[in-house]
Amino acid sequence: MSQASAAPQMHDRFPYSAIVDRPPLRWPNGARVAVWVIPNIEHFLFDRPSSSIIAATKELVPDVLNYSWRDYGVRVGVWRMMEVMERYGVKGTVALNADVCRHYPRIIEAGNALGWEWMGHGPNNSTLMNGQAEEGRLVNAVVDAIEQGTGRRPRGWLSPALSESHDTLDLLAAAGIRYVADWVNDEQPYPMRVKTGSMLSLPYSVEINDYTTFLEQGLTGEAFGRMICDQFDGLYEDGARSGRVMAICLHPFLVGHPHRSRHFAKALAHITSHPDVWMATGDEIADWYGKTYGNS
């Protein structure tokens, strides 16, 4: 399907599936919930607006106020996030802008030392996937740059702003990507139809997500910590019947501030204090699901 063709009213990527009609899903060692933590580590271009905490300057070029506020994440916030996660034995699955490899190699070095995983997240967070004239070339360039920068070819993908064209999934599959987190419509993995190869959707969240909580809803770090715990408690209860996936979606320029990170730490303490919880990475979840239940 070309970018120039008329937009279909229905997609054909997967059939409807009611979770109550599925056979029970079982995680390794009887875990009720597979929890994966996704730090979004990003690079922003200086000549255009992006995520903003103050609206008054966001259309200025340059917007020093909001640009430097975002820049706090890679200079300070990510290091606090790493310390909190390491304290509780949690490995990140990083949604990584390829430009991070070039501009902030120190972060890649530290992430590799912690055993973190890297999945594709576009070239930078100022470039969305929808509307790219040479999207296939862009996808391949991102995958190649992350492989060169981290030492490992990414197998997962989260588009900037979860943006896709009608061709994105096919292009990702052709580039060797095996799971995608753009579709926030489930609590279990499910296979997606692509032209070649295979593709798995892993649960991601726009609700258990610091961007939505802090910037869209204006809530506090304490409220976000409570949301994480409440979400976990509900999934833990449901997971006794059939396994669930919980995604905790983070941005170091948000949760990396001390007044927020302390509540993130309390939430991780709550989660990791429970038995039958699998603190997993994206690759681990995708591999287990594919091996046990198949990708098609």
Average pLDDT score, the chain:
96
Tell me: pLDDT of 214 over 90: yes
When pLDDT is averaged across residues 79-92 and rounded to a whole number, the result is: 98
When pLDDT is averaged across residues 280-286 and rounded to a whole number, the result is: 98
101-136 pLDDT tens trace = 999 999 999 999 999 999 999 999 999 888 788 999
- The whole-number pLDDT of residue 1 equals 43
Confidence of residue 30 (pLDDT cuts 50, 70, 90): very high
Alpha-carbon span 155 to 97, nearest angstrom: 14
DSSP calls for 221-286:
HHHHHHHHHHHHHHHHHHTTTS-EEEEEEE-TTTTTSHHHHHHHHHHHHHHHTSSSEEE--HHHHH
When pLDDT is averaged across residues 191-201 and rounded to a whole number, the result is: 97
Using CB atoms within 10 A of its CB, is residue 212 exposed (0-12), middle (13-18) or buried (19+)?
middle
- The whole-number pLDDT of residue 5 equals 56
Tell me: pLDDT of 259 over 70: yes
Please report the domains of the chain, with CATH numbers, ordered by start residue. Answer: 36-293 (3.20.20.370)
